[in-house]
Structure 1
Amino acid sequence: MSWRRALKDTARSGIAVEKKRLEPLIAVRGAAGLAIVIALSLWLFGPAAAASSAFGAFQAAIATFQRSWRPRPELAIASGTSLAVSTFLGYLTISKEPLFLALLVVWTFAAGMSWAAGPTIGLIASSNVAIMLVTVTLPTSVAQAAGHAAMMIVGGLVQAALIVLFPVRRWGAHRDALADALAAEADYARRLRHDPVASFDPQPLMEARNAAAVTPRQARRRPAELHGARGIAERIRPVLASLADPAMGVPAEGHARDRVRELLASAAALLDAAAHAIRHGEPVAAPPAALATFRTPDTGSILTGAPYRAMTRLNTLLQDVVETAGGTPQQDVPSGARGTAHSAESDGQSTSGRAPTHPGARGTAHSAPTTRTRPTFLALIPKALKAMRGELHRGSPITRHATRVSAVAATGYILGTWLPLGHGYWAPLTSVMVMRPDFSQTYSRAVARLAGTVIGVAVATGVVQAATPGTLQSGTLAVASAALMYLLMRTGQFATQACIAAYVVFLLGMGGEEWTQTVPERVLLTLMGGLLAMLAYAVYPAWETPRLRTRLADWLAAQGPYVAAVFGSYADPSVRDAPDVRGALLTARTARAAWHAAVARATAEPVRHRGLSRTAADDAEDALAQLGRVAMLLEAHLPERGATPVPPAARFADALRESTHKGAKAIRERRVPTWDAVREALDAWETEDTDKVVRNTATLVLDTLTELSEALDTAVPPMTLDGTAPEKPDGPRDPKDSATR
Structure 2
Amino acid sequence: MSRRRSWPQLFAPVPGMRPAVVAGLVNAVAVGLPLPAGIAFQHPVAGAWVCLGAYVTAFTNKGGPRRSRTLGLAVAAVVNAAAFAVGEPAFGVWPLTFVLFAVLVLIASLGDRLHPWAGRLGTMPATALLAGAGNTAPDQGAAAGTALLVLCGGLWYAVATVLLTPAPRLGPVLLALAEPYRLTGQRLARIAAARPAAPEDHAQAVQAQARAAAAVKALRGQGGDEHLAARLDPLLTGAAALADQTGALHTTGSPPPAVASACARAATVLSARLLRIGALLAHAPTGPAPAASPRQALDQLARACDLLRSRAAAGAEPYSAVARASRQRRLLVRIAHEADRAHVRAAGLPESLRTTRAHPAPPPRRGFDRAGLRAVLSAGSPTSRHALRVTLVASAVLAAVSALGLPHGEWATLAVLRVMRPRYADTMERAGQRVAGNLIGGTCAALAIAWIHDPDVLAALLFAVITVGFALRPVNYGFWVVFGTPLVLLIGDVSDPGDWRSALERIAMTVLGSAAALLGGYLLWPTWERGRLAARSADAAAAAAAYLDAGLRRLLSAGSPDGLGTAPEGAARARAAAEEALAAAADAERRARREPLPDRAAADRAATVIATLYGLVADVTALASVTGPGPAGAHVPVLPVFAAHAVPALTGPDADRRARDLAVLTGALDEMRIHLEDLHTRRQAELAAGREAEDTPVRRAIREAGPLVELLERIGVRVGQLARLPR
Give TM-score, length-normalised by structure 2: 0.74
Paired residues for 1:670-685 under 5 Å: 674=658, 676-677=660-661, 680=664
Change (3 A) 1:117 1:196: farther
Change (3 A) 1:43 1:285: closer
Q: Which has the larger radius of gyration?
A: 2
Paired residues for 1:332-731 under 5 Å: 376-377=362-363, 379=365, 392-468=377-453, 477-489=461-473, 495-511=479-495, 515=499, 518-519=502-503, 521-540=505-524, 541-573=526-558, 574=560, 575=563, 578-579=567-568, 580-609=570-599, 613-640=602-629, 656=646, 674=658, 676-677=660-661, 680=664, 692-693=705-706, 694=708, 697-710=711-724, 712-713=725-726
After superposition, give the CA deviation of every residue in 1:10-55 in whole Å (9 maximum; x if it has no partner).
6665588999975655422220111345567889996666444423
- Counterpart CA distance in 2 for 1:86 and 1:55 is 11
Is the deviation greater in 421-430 or in 532-541?
Answer: 421-430
Q: How many residues align?
A: 649
8 Å Cα contact 1:277/1:284 also seen in 2: no
After superposition, give the CA deviation of every residue in 1:382-407 in whole Å (9 maximum; x if it has no partner).
79x98876655555554433222111
Change (3 A) 1:537 1:455: same
- Counterpart CA distance in 1 for 2:611 and 2:115 is 29
After superposition, give the CA deviation of every residue in 1:225-265 in whole Å (9 maximum; x if it has no partner).
85422321211233234345447xxx852445555434323
Cα RMSD of the aligned pairs, angstroms, is: 4.7
Change (3 A) 1:210 1:543: same
After superposition, give the CA deviation of every residue in 1:417-467 in whole Å (9 maximum; x if it has no partner).
111335432221121122223334433433443454455444444444445
Q: Which residue of 1 aligns with 2:278?
A: 275
Q: Which residue of 2 aligns with 1:341?
A: none
Residue 348 of structure 2 aligns to a residue whose secondary structure is coil
Change (3 A) 1:587 1:120: farther
Paired residues for 1:201-216 under 5 Å: 201-213=202-214, 214-216=218-220
Residue 544 of structure 1 aligns to a residue whose secondary structure is coil
8 Å Cα contact 2:238/2:338 also seen in 1: yes
Residue 326 of structure 1 aligns to a residue whose secondary structure is helix
Is the deviation greater in 633-642 or in 27-36?
Answer: 633-642
- Counterpart CA distance in 2 for 1:105 and 1:633 is 54
8 Å Cα contact 2:419/2:517 also seen in 1: yes
- Counterpart CA distance in 1 for 2:574 and 2:368 is 26
- Counterpart CA distance in 1 for 2:424 and 2:18 is 28
- Counterpart CA distance in 1 for 2:164 and 2:256 is 57
8 Å Cα contact 2:609/2:722 also seen in 1: yes
Change (3 A) 1:53 1:268: same
- Counterpart CA distance in 2 for 1:328 and 1:673 is 57
Change (3 A) 1:41 1:394: farther
Residue 202 of structure 2 aligns to a residue whose secondary structure is coil
Give the C-alpha shift of residue 99 in structure 1.
2.6
Pick aligned residue for 2:345 from 321, 324, 341: 324
Q: Percent sequence identity over matched residues?
A: 20
Change (3 A) 1:149 1:26: closer
Change (3 A) 1:570 1:452: closer
Pick aligned residue for 1:31 from 18, 23, 28: 28
Paired residues for 1:223-302 under 5 Å: 226-243=232-249, 245-246=251-252, 252-280=255-283, 287=290, 288-295=292-299, 298=303
- Counterpart CA distance in 2 for 1:15 and 1:630 is 35
Change (3 A) 1:545 1:424: same
Q: Which residue of 2 aligns with 1:180?
A: 179
Change (3 A) 1:410 1:314: same
Is the deviation greater in 618-627 or in 435-444?
Answer: 435-444
Unaligned runs of 5+ in 2: 310-321, 351-357, 676-700
8 Å Cα contact 2:251/2:619 also seen in 1: no
Change (3 A) 1:595 1:163: farther
- Counterpart CA distance in 1 for 2:642 and 2:361 is 39
- Counterpart CA distance in 2 for 1:22 and 1:259 is 40
After superposition, give the CA deviation of every residue in 1:257-286 in whole Å (9 maximum; x if it has no partner).
555434323321221221222222688986
Give the C-alpha shift of residue 110 in structure 1.
2.8
8 Å Cα contact 2:107/2:118 also seen in 1: no
Change (3 A) 1:498 1:315: closer
- Counterpart CA distance in 2 for 1:165 and 1:432 is 32
Higher helix share: 2
What is the identity, as a one-letter code, of the residue corresponding to 1:604?
Answer: R
After superposition, give the CA deviation of every residue in 1:478-509 in whole Å (9 maximum; x if it has no partner).
44432342345467555533433322233234
2:82 is the counterpart of 1:82: no
2:97 is the counterpart of 1:100: yes
8 Å Cα contact 2:450/2:500 also seen in 1: no
Give the C-alpha shift of residue 549 in structure 1.
0.8
8 Å Cα contact 1:436/1:442 also seen in 2: yes
- Counterpart CA distance in 1 for 2:147 and 2:31 is 20
Change (3 A) 1:548 1:182: same
Unaligned runs of 5+ in 1: 330-371, 714-738
Q: Which residue of 2 aligns with 1:359?
A: none
Give the C-alpha shift of residue 374 in structure 1.
7.0
- Counterpart CA distance in 2 for 1:605 and 1:673 is 36
